[in-house]
Chains A and B, each alone.
Chain A
Amino acid sequence: MISRLSDEKSRAAIAASIERRRVDARGLLFRTVLQACLLLTLALLAVLLITVAFDSTDQLGARFWDFLGGTLRSQSGDEQLGVHQAIYGSMWIAIIVALLAFPIGIGAAVYLEEYAPRNRFTSFIEVNIRNLAGVPSIVYGLLGLALLLNGQIFGLDRLTGGRSTLSGGITLAILVLPIVVITSGEAFRAVPTALREGAYGVGATKWEMIRTQVLPYAAPGILTGTLLSMARAIGEAAPLILVGAVTGRLGDNPGLFDLGALDERFTALPIVITSWTQQSGRDAGFATAAAAAIVVLLVFVLMMNSAAIGLRNRFEKKRG
């Protein structure tokens, strides 16, 4: 009886909405709110990008190569000002992060996902790795300071040259390591069981199964995660300041592939952006230079991300 009544009611409502074309006010409101959220996000991003791009034309438009080849200065925003040393620092930090964090992180993830027994201890470790990924970057800076600069453990400061590009790179590698382990772990977990069983079925050992099935299948996911984590490392300023990035003036101006300068004092793109923004009250050159350095950093990150996407597509094609 009751159900018949409500059936009739709903039927009536449906009929009414069809015939009178009644507006679904709540649905429309919800949709509008969602659109507004998206628009707000895009608008904020657009404002940021447009202001920065506009401010940077003084440097990137008028003296593009001079700006790229120039040096870190903090007293006069003159014709020698530029980001050469910062590009050197950021580029090598990215390379060091890739070389250290990726193999170690992916290796740890392979062990955790494929070899380690499932027990309380391993899940305790996993929880802790997840927590480590959320630790503020400045804490990793302190770790780098103790480990690589003050040489409290193993005398590592002799190897890295103390306050150097190498120390900065290693610190940021430690910073992204948990993220690499987590994202790689997720990628391994997404590998279909059928693939693994198929490999075992044709007589593969565990190592052969991982090498020929799991790793190739998980490669796109691993790449996406790791390269995004690298983009994060490239944007970090706080830990680098703790391990001795130079904000004032850096004497050396090494060639981009000058390996000998890896243990020398260094600076990086986020550092010069911070430094020049602080100086911007004194000389108009610094405000435009800070904006230009932001553009360079954005291009840097974009290049890395598009490389990641390109590689991922390649792997996905292979997988297909």
Chain B
Amino acid sequence: MRDSRRRLLWLPVIVVSFALVAAACGGDEDASTPAAAPDTGSSDAAPATTAAATAEEETATAEEEMASVSGEVNISGSSTVEPISIRVAELFEDVAPDVSVTVDGPGTGDGFKLFCAGETDISDASRQIKDSEKEDCFANGITNIVELKVGVDGIAVMTNANNGAVECLSFHQLFDLIGPNGEGASTWAEASAGLPDAPLDIFGPGEESGTFDSFIEIVLEDLADEAGVDATTRTDYSPSGDDNVILQGIQSSDTSLGWVGFAFAVNASGVKLLEVDGGDGCVTPTPDTIASNEYPISRDLWIYVNADAAAANPALVAYVDFYVSDALSQAVSEVGYVPLTDAAHAETADRWHSRSLIS
């Protein structure tokens, strides 16, 4: 009697252990299927023709046909582009409910690592692919890549709304304030002569962020080369990966300075967007000046599609078809970026449908 009770105690443990082993084995089979997909594509020259054929079919594809497509799409990359890909996926869900789209945003560089290892179908990027990353991809057999521009982002330079002393900053002033030479400067005047003698509290994205990289590339790099210093920021500022934290920092100090994606700054309260002079006079950041690249700190946003994966995966084709359709402008403006001009949008759609590959 006592003994049988003891045995019962261990029974569930044994049963569930078996269940786990079964699950692990089942998992093994499933895992091998997606891993095989990139291999089939990269083995020979055939995928290029398949891709072209699919493209012709797809241009004629109506939305009803999308509804019958099923499959998986894996996206990773820039946290700046992530919202666009997600919004497109949310809109796409209504058209093609059987396609499951997973989107992640670890950063542009990390995204390309996964993309070049064949783990993702699409890589979101807030800058164009670097040569080193391209070589990585090619070395791994990911040779057929379509590069598509999907929107424009501006980086806003901001101060507290109560700060009436500053209206416009030039690239030189930004370099003095935020670049490595500003290290240790605790007032605006100390960092850059001619600016007000007020405490300088700087908030910006951390090194892992695409916005950090873009700010350096667009604003600091050339001036750093001239000055003979490393192209980076000063180290004594408050970095954060969370844009809301940066905005809170700006709001917390009357003479704060910071930079963040235009999308996050434009609707924030207690924050003043500064005009920026990139050499051709002060320009206010607005959707128009950013789309036209007139505002000097603007950058294009990209997605990179694995064309071989697309040839083998109708769900991926349907998703990108939808991505470059009219839904793009809607998604881009809904998440707070600036949509492409009509001409640029047409070029993006054309690049995709003709599968123009990067080389």
Contact = CB atoms under 8 A, between A and B. Distances in A.
Contacts of A73: 86, 90
A95 B244 CA distance: 35
B6 A211 contact: yes
Interface residues of B, number: 42
Interface stretch (B12-20, B147-155, B209-217, B250-258): B12-20
A248 interface: yes
Interface in B318-353: 334-335
B2 A248 contact: no
Contacts of A235: none
- Of A73, A102, A160, A263, the most chain B CB neighbours within 10 A belong to A263
Nearest to A252: B100
Q: Which residue, of B26, B102, B119, has the highest number of chain A Cβ atoms within 10 A? A: B102
Contacts of A134: none
Interface centre among B3, B17, B90 (most CB of A within 10 A): B90
Contacts of B72: 251-252
Given A95-B16, A161-B30, A259-B23, A75 B86 contact: yes
B28 A251 contact: no
B27 A76 contact: no
A244 to B, nearest CB: 8
Contact of A248 (B13, B23, B82, B119): B82
B31 A99 contact: no
Contact of A162 (B17, B22, B26, B31): B31
A227 to B, nearest CB: 14
Interface string A206-231: 00000110011001000000000000
B101 A249 contact: yes
B101 A74 contact: no
Contact of B104 (A76, A160, A215, A246): A246
B124 to A, nearest CB: 10
Contacts of A95: 16
Contact of B6 (A161, A216, A252, A259): A216
Contacts of B103: 246, 248-249
Contacts of A247: 104-105
Contacts of B99: 251
B102 A249 contact: yes
Contacts of B335: 75
Contacts of B101: 249, 251
Contacts of B118: none
Contacts of A244: 104
A281 interface: yes
B87 interface: yes
Nearest to A164: B27
A68 B19 CA distance: 26
Interface in A245-283: 246-253, 259-260, 262-265, 278, 281
Contacts of B334: 75-76
B90 A103 contact: no
A74 B83 contact: yes
Given A159-B27, A166-B24, A251 B87 contact: no
B27 A262 contact: yes
A246 B26 contact: no
Nearest to B20: A99
Counting chain B CB atoms within 10 Å of each CB, the highest count among A98, A103, A248 belongs to A248
B16 A99 contact: yes
Interface in B1-51: 2-3, 5-6, 9, 13, 16-17, 19-20, 22-24, 26-28, 30-32
A211 B28 CA distance: 36
A278 B244 contact: yes
Contact of B30 (A74, A100, A263): A263
A247 B86 CA distance: 11
Nearest to A74: B86
Given A248-B82, A263-B30, A76 B87 contact: yes
A251 B86 CA distance: 10
Contacts of A216: 6
A96 B31 contact: no
Given A216-B6, A246-B102, A248-B82, A160 B27 contact: yes
Given A260-B30, A278-B242, 8 more contacts: A74-B86, A75-B90, A75-B334, A96-B20, A158-B31, A166-B24, A249-B85, A265-B74
11 contacts: A76-B87, A166-B27, A215-B6, A216-B6, A248-B82, A248-B105, A249-B85, A249-B89, A259-B23, A260-B26, A263-B27
